[in-house]
Chain A
Amino acid sequence: MLADSIRNVMARVFGVELVCIGDNASPGNIEQWDSLRHMNLVLALEDEFNVRFPDDQVEQLISFPLIELSLRELLPVADGAGT
């Protein structure tokens, strides 16, 4: 499931337990999500899903729902279809 895979990447990047990545995870409720780790997160998501976020999106991926939405647009339908 895409949401789980995203959660997984986020947990590994921030070094927190999976349960800490809630449905509304954002820099506001995850202490480790600072500007440097935001870059790490973007790069890790790209590496994981083999996608490339458009230039203007990179700085806007600042919540779990936004990341999921953005990845769904980038991933081929078959891969992103799971909910």
Chain B
Amino acid sequence: MRALRYADILSRNRELAAGAVGKTYRIALLSNIVVNQLADVLEYALRSRGLHAEVTCGDYDNFVQDSIRFKAFDAAIIFWEPANIIDGLHVQAESMKPADLAALAGRVEQEMALTLENLREVPLLLFNGFSALLFERDNLRTGLLQQLCDRLNAVLRSALAGHHVVVDINKVLAGVGLSAAADFRQFQSSKALYSIDFLKDYAEHVAPAMFAATGRMRKVLVLDCDNTLWGGVLGEDGEAQIQMGTASRAGRIFREVQHILKGFQSQGVMLALCSKNNTADVNQVLSSHPDMVLRDVDLVAKKVNWLDKATNLRALAAELNVGLDSLVFVDDSAFELGLVSEALPQVTCIQVPTALSEYPGVVRALAREFFALSRTDEDLHKTEMYRDEQARSQAKERIGSLEDYLRSLELVVRISWNAAVPLDRAAQLTQKTNQFNLTTRRYTEGDMKRMLEDPHFVVASIDVADRYGGYGVTGLAILSIETGGEAARVDTLLMSCRIIGRHIEQVFFDGLVQKLRSLGVGRLHAEYLRTAKNAQVSDFYGTLGLSPRSVELERHTYELTLSDHRGSFINYIEVTEHVG
């Protein structure tokens, strides 16, 4: 909210108030300091996430009377500023006699007790902890004002009931910075002390309590696997190479993240996976990889398959019987997150930061999304319960409007032919690509060069871009034309996993067919050669409409009469060509 200007907060809050329907969540704000601006800021923070809140400010420094007036409210916030317990206490405390200070503390304790008693039926009570930090930052010792605060905090904590939250205001002060948090210009004239930046941060800090009190907290943290739970791509790099151990810097960071996630899980947050991978590969890592912190038993559900993630998240929510707005989804790919937030705007999407060292902090900050007012035994066993439930029912996977999303991406595929194909990258793709690879033939640069120079070969590479940027050269096809030129064979067809799921393979194949036809070729032979990694393309040619000729476990062969090829009719991917 810091990025939003105060004037915008005021006007947007006014709009949200005008459009609000349903019951109002009434919050009372009791204070001995002027914090009226918090009313709009907090209302906006809550209303913008669907909680129609209305903040009513109490009278200045009138806690006991106010607490009677507000006893039927839904929530109360208490700003009891120590500097203002008596006028100018922050400058007087150091010269006061201990007995006078003690008497003062006694008076406040009495008022606090009365206030809490009057507010006992308010379902949610947020009481700011007492702090002298603003006035004692330069004091090496604990000053008398802070000692008074410590005493009052001890009383406050002992009076704590289940529906009370003591707000550690020092956390907010630290986040804003002491110099930026206070604005002393109005302190003498109108008893205002805190800056707008402080109030924005304060509102964000306490909002989770209101969301929790009204059942709006998130419940499930859904995680991608590759470059999210571990470093590297399982399907490409293999189990031995992925990083979440102590041997590398990246590995240690992913390990730290897994520990934080494990901590969340222990506190009742449900964890789930949503990853484009082979199920068996991920299960293998979960069950036996020595570096994994998270194990299968820590997860409530797994969607490890090749479906798009919006479909998977919808299925997850249905399976776990939670709303889509209960999900937080973490992934490293802007593409995947874009797809999800387009299709399912209710899901909170978090991207793994490019600066990996910031990743644990980003995950830790999610604690706010999952804040719960209390932890029951049931909460702590939530994972087990949901796993049982899941075993009872199986959810159907639903297809959403993937096409609409792909259209919005403005995908451009550029096909480069023969001499225009970058040799080194083409060779590298044959060596590195495991998953979307029909034949998995590995070639060196020398091999590639020979084929490019041989008129019996047609070599094509693609580079892909969308409105977010380019993906580079990410696909390759090698076609060999039989002597006589009537038939051709697909020697190699592969795509990097970075561009899978966008129907690019279909337009690429259309382009290949068109090229062969222009060369007078009438028939195409193709094959799928099974490996441990390429199950996802086992029926790729079948789905494109090629006729199967033989289907054995290790090898499927197909044939296509090129004049029969109907094409994919995909009109949302622009195809251009590049001839060297």
18 pairs, CB–CB < 8 Å, chain A vs chain B: A8-B7, A12-B7, A12-B8, A12-B10, A13-B10, A15-B10, A15-B14, A39-B192, A40-B40, A43-B6, A44-B6, A44-B7, A44-B10, A46-B196, A47-B6, A48-B7, A55-B185, A58-B185
Instruction: Give residues of chain B (195-213) contacting chain A, Cβ–Cβ below 8 Å.
Output: 196
- A9 an interface residue at 8 Å Cβ cutoff? yes
Complexed CA–CA distance, A59 and B40 (Å): 22
Interface residues of B (CB under 8 A from A): 5-8, 10-11, 14, 36-37, 40, 185-186, 189-190, 192, 196
Q: A12-B7, A43-B196 are in contact. List 19 more A-B contacts (CB 8 A).
A: A11-B11, A12-B10, A13-B7, A15-B10, A36-B36, A39-B37, A39-B192, A40-B10, A40-B37, A40-B40, A44-B5, A44-B10, A46-B196, A47-B6, A47-B7, A47-B196, A48-B5, A48-B7, A58-B186
Chain A residues in 8 Å Cβ range of B186: 39, 58
Alpha-carbon gap, A46 to B185, bound state (A): 13
Name the residue on A nearest B8 (C-beta). Answer: A12
Q: For the complex, what is the distance from the CA of A58 to the CA of B14, rounded to whole Å?
A: 25
Per-position binary interface string of chain A over residues 6-18, scored 1 when its CB falls under 8 Å from any chain B CB and 0 otherwise:
0011011101000
Alpha-carbon separation in the docked complex, A36 to B190 (Å)? 10
Q: How far, in whole Å, are A59 and B10 apart by their CA atoms in the complex? A: 21
How far apart sit A50 and B55, CA to CA, in the bound complex (Å)? 27
User: Chain B residues near A40 (CB, 8 Å)?
Assistant: 6, 10, 37, 40
Minimum-distance CB pairs A-B, first 7: A12-B11, A44-B7, A12-B7, A47-B6, A44-B6, A9-B7, A55-B185
Using a CB–CB cutoff of 8 Å, the interface residues on chain A facing chain B are 8-9, 11-13, 15, 36, 39-40, 43-44, 46-48, 55, 58-59
Judge whether B190 and A39 touch: CB under 8 Å: yes
In the complex, how many residue pairs between chain A and chain B have their CB atoms under 8 Å apart? 42
A11–B15 CA distance with the chains assembled, in angstroms: 13
Question: Which residues of chain A come closer than 8 Å to B7, judged between CB atoms?
Answer: 8-9, 12-13, 44, 47-48
User: How many whole Å from B390's CB to the nearest CB in chain A?
Assistant: 48
B5 touches which of A11, A36, A39, A47 (Cβ 8 Å): A47
Task: Give the complex CA separation of A59 and B7 in angstroms.
Answer: 19
Among A11, A44, A46, the one with the most B-chain Cβ atoms within 10 Å of its Cβ is A44
Q: Which of chain A's residues has its CB closest to B12's CB?
A: A12
How long is the Cα–Cα vector from A36 to B34 in the complex, in angstroms? 10
Docked complex Cα distance between A38 and B66 (Å):
25
In the bound complex, CA of A74 to CA of B496 (Å)? 55
Closest chain B residue to A58 by CB distance? B185
Residues of B within 8 A of A46 (CB): 196
Instruction: Write the chain B residue with the least CB distance to A49.
Output: B5
Which B residue's beta carbon lies closest to that of A46?
B196
Instruction: Give bound CA distance, A36 to B192, whole Å.
Output: 11
Task: Select from chain A the residue with minimum beta-carbon distance to B192.
Answer: A39
Closest to B188 in A: A55
Residues of A within 8 A of B11 (CB): 11-13, 15
Residues of B within 8 A of A59 (CB): 189
CB contacts (< 8 Å) of A8 on chain B: these are 7
Report the minimal beta-carbon distance from B315 to chain A, rounded to whole angstroms: 43
Complex formed: what's the CA distance from A58 to B189 in Å?
A: 11
A15 to B14, CA, bound (A): 8
B6 adjacent to A48 (CB under 8 Å): yes
The minimal Cβ–Cβ distance linking B335 to chain A, given in whole angstroms, is 35
CA distance A11 to B14 in the complex (A): 12
Question: Shortest CB–CB separation between residue B419 and chain A, in angstroms?
Answer: 52
Q: Nearest chain-B residue to A9 (Cβ)?
A: B7
Q: How long is the Cα–Cα vector from A47 to B198 in the complex, in angstroms?
A: 12
Instruction: Tell me the complex Cα distance, A41–B151, Å.
Output: 38
> For A9, what are the chain B residues with a Cβ–Cβ distance below 8 Å?
7
Q: Which among A47, A48, A55 has the highest number of chain B CB atoms within 10 Å?
A: A47
A11 to B10, CA, bound (A): 10
- Chain B residues with CB under 8 Å of A44's CB are 5-7, 10
What are the residues of chain A within 8 A of B40 when measuring CB–CB?
40
The closest CB in chain A to the CB of B200 belongs to A47
Looking at B11, B14, B36, B190, the one whose CB has the most chain A CB atoms below 10 A away is: B11
- CA separation between A22 and B508, bound complex, in Å? 62
CA distance A44 to B37 in the complex (A): 10
Q: How far is the CB of A79 from chain B (nearest CB, A)?
A: 16
CB closest residue in chain A, given B190: A39
Q: Give the CA-CA distance A9 to B185 in the complex, in Å.
A: 21
Q: Quick one: closest B residue to A47, CB to CB?
A: B6
In the assembled complex, which residues on chain A have CB atoms less than 8 Å from the CB atom of B8? Answer: 12
How near does chain B come to A32, taking the closest CB pair, in angstroms? 11
Chain A residues with Cβ below 8 Å from B189 are: 59
Which chain A residues border B37 with CB–CB below 8 Å? 39-40, 43
- B93: min CB distance to chain A, Å: 25
CA distance A69 to B189 in the complex (A): 24
- A13 vs B10: C-alpha distance when bound (angstroms): 6
CA distance A47 to B10 in the complex (A): 12
CB distance from A49 to the nearest CB of B (A): 10
Residues of the B chain whose Cβ atoms lie less than 8 Å from the Cβ of A13: 7, 10-11
A3 to chain B, nearest CB (A): 15
Residues of B within 8 A of A39 (CB): 36-37, 186, 190, 192
Q: In the complex, what's the smallest C-beta–C-beta distance from B67 to chain A, in angstroms?
A: 23
Q: Which residue of A lies closest to B184 (CB)?
A: A55
Chain A nearest Cβ from B206, distance in angstroms: 20
Alpha-carbon distance A40/B302, docked complex (angstroms): 50
- Give the distance in Å from the alpha carbon of A8 to the alpha carbon of B6 in the complex: 12
Q: Which residue of A lies closest to B57 (CB)?
A: A36
A47–B6 Cα gap in the complex (Å)? 6
Q: How far is the CB of A81 from chain B (nearest CB, A)?
A: 22
- In whole Å, how far is B44's beta carbon from the nearest beta carbon of chain A? 12
Shortest Cβ distance from A14 into B: residue: B10
